[in-house]
Amino acid sequence: MTKVLLVDDSAVMRKIIQRNIKETGLIVDEFVEAGDGNQALDKVNAVGDLDLILVDWNMPNMSGIEFVKTLRSLNLAKRTPVVMVTTEGSAAKVSEAKNSGADGYLTKPFTADQLRDALGNYLSIQ
């Protein structure tokens, strides 16, 4: 049972990511959604075992980077990889994300191949 947490303040973007994941053949059984970092922390605590967390950077209340830092500092979901999915594409932001505990980085907009490359290490492919 593969569970992925999608964290993005745009419900449309969460739908687009789900559709693209399915279309690229990556196998996910359940998507759990959150609209900001605070909601995401609640979901991590409530859902338990997650196989992957995809998180946007710019969100209200708690940003994606604050979420990653909090997640790692509290040692929550410590075996769950986190991939940032964001329009922030500078080398400095990528470096900040990785130094904060993110395992991967995908810049929006992305192609199907880029999505597969970014998530292929964490999800099975049909």
Partner 1 sequence: MATATFDNIVEDIISCTNEVFATMIPMEITSDGSFHQKEDMISTDVISLVSFTGEHSGIIAFFGSKKMAMKITSNMLGIEVSSVDQDVKDAMGELTNMIGGTLKNKVFESFGAMHLSVPIVIAGVDLSISSASNKNDKHNVSISPGVTCNSQNSWMMTPFSCEGDTFNMGLVVKKND
Q: Does 106 bind partner 1 (CB under 8 A)?
A: no
- Match 């609640």 to its residue by tokens: 42
Q: Cα 75 from chain centroid?
A: 17
Q: Using CB under 8 A, which of 19, 25, 45, 95 touches partner 1?
A: 19
DSSP letter at 25 equals T
Q: Does 58 bind partner 1 (CB under 8 A)?
A: yes
Q: Does 25 bind partner 1 (CB under 8 A)?
A: no
Q: Which residues contact 44 (CB under 8 A, 6 or more apart)?
A: 5, 50, 53, 71, 76, 77, 80
Angle at 71 between CA 116 and CA 80, to 5 degrees: 40
Q: Does 36 bind partner 1 (CB under 8 A)?
A: no
Q: Using CB under 8 A, which of 2, 3, 15, 31 touches partner 1?
A: 15
Task: Give, for 104, the enclosing helix (H) or strand (E).
Answer: strand 104-107
Q: Using CB under 8 A, which of 88, 100, 105, 118 touches partner 1?
A: 88
Q: Using CB under 8 A, which of 16, 33, 101, 106 touches partner 1?
A: 16
Residues of this chain that interact with partner 1 (CB under 8 A) are 9-13, 15-16, 19, 58, 60, 86-90, 107-111
